[in-house]
Structure 1
Amino acid sequence: MKAVQYQTIGELPVVADIDIPEPGPGQVRLKITAAGLCHSDWFLMGLPAEMYSYGLPLTLGHEGAGIVDKVGEGVVAVKPGDDVAVYGPWGCGRCSECAQGRENYCPFAGELGITPPGLGSPGCMAEYMIVDDVRHLVPLNGLDPVQTVSLTDAGLTPYHAIKHSLDKLPAGSTAVVIGTGGLGHVGIQILRAISGAVVIALDVNDEKLAHAREVGAHHTIISDSDAPAKIRDLTGGIGADVVFDFVGATPTLEIARQSVRIDGSIESVGIGGGVLATGFGSTPFGVSVRAPYWGSRSELMEVLELARTGQVHVTVEQYSIDEAPDAYHRLHEGKVTGRAVVVP
Structure 2
Amino acid sequence: MRALQYTTIGEAPRVMEVPDPDPGPGQVLLQVTAAGVCHSDEYVMGLSAEHYTMGLPLTLGHEGVGVVAALGDGATGFEIGDAVAVYGPWGCGTCRLCAQGKENYCQNAAVQGIRPPGLGSPGSMAEYMIVDSPRHLVPLGDLDPVKNVSLTDAGLTPYHAIKISLPKLGAGSTAVCIGTGGLGHVGIQILKAISGAQVIALDVADDKLELARHVGADHALLSNGDAPAAVHEITGGRGADAVFDFVGIQPTVELAGRMVGTEGDVSIVGIGGGKLPVGFAAIAYDAAVRVPYWGSRLELMEVLELARRGQIGVETETFSLEEGPEAYERLHAGKIRGRAVILPNG
Matching residue of 2:300: 300
In structure 1, list runs of 5 or more residues that go unmatched.
none
Matching residue of 2:219: 219
Give me the identity figure in percent.
65
Matching residue of 2:24: 24
Matching residue of 1:199: 199
Matching residue of 2:156: 156
Per the TM alignment, residue 267 of structure 1 is displaced from its structure 2 partner at its CA by: 0.4
Matching residue of 2:176: 176
Which aligned pairs between 1:117-132 and structure 2 lie closer than 5 A?
Answer: 117-132=117-132
Which aligned pairs between 1:1-344 and structure 2 lie closer than 5 A?
Answer: 1-344=1-344
Tell me the amino acid that sits aligned with residue 62 of structure 1: H
2 CA distance for matches of 1:306 and 1:263? 29
Counterpart secondary structure, 1:175: strand
Counterpart secondary structure, 2:23: coil
Over residues 53-100 of structure 1, what are the superposed CA-to-partner deviations in whole Å (9 max), with x where a residue is unaligned?
A: 000000000000000001100112111100000000000001111111
2 CA distance for matches of 1:26 and 1:272? 36
In structure 2, list runs of 5 or more residues that go unmatched.
none
Per the TM alignment, residue 288 of structure 1 is displaced from its structure 2 partner at its CA by: 0.3
1 CA distance for matches of 2:228 and 2:76? 54
Counterpart secondary structure, 2:97: helix
Tell me the amino acid that sits aligned with residue 167 of structure 2: D
2 CA distance for matches of 1:51 and 1:299? 31
- The alignment's C-alpha RMSD in Å is 0.5
Counterpart secondary structure, 1:157: helix
Q: Which moved more, 1:75-84 or 1:298-307?
A: 75-84
TM-score (norm 2): 0.99
Over residues 239-281 of structure 1, what are the superposed CA-to-partner deviations in whole Å (9 max), with x where a residue is unaligned?
A: 0000000000110011101100011110000001111111112
TM-score (norm 1): 0.99
Over residues 30-61 of structure 1, what are the superposed CA-to-partner deviations in whole Å (9 max), with x where a residue is unaligned?
A: 00000000000000000000000000000000
Tell me the amino acid that sits aligned with residue 195 of structure 2: S
Tell me the amino acid that sits aligned with residue 131 of structure 1: V
1 CA distance for matches of 2:76 and 2:99? 20
2 CA distance for matches of 1:209 and 1:329? 21
Counterpart secondary structure, 1:210: helix
Counterpart secondary structure, 1:165: helix
Tell me the amino acid that sits aligned with residue 18 of structure 1: V
1 CA distance for matches of 2:67 and 2:292? 30
Per the TM alignment, residue 189 of structure 1 is displaced from its structure 2 partner at its CA by: 0.1
2 CA distance for matches of 1:27 and 1:150? 23
2 CA distance for matches of 1:313 and 1:123? 23
Tell me the amino acid that sits aligned with residue 126 of structure 1: A
Counterpart secondary structure, 2:20: coil
2 CA distance for matches of 1:56 and 1:206? 38
Per the TM alignment, residue 209 of structure 1 is displaced from its structure 2 partner at its CA by: 0.5
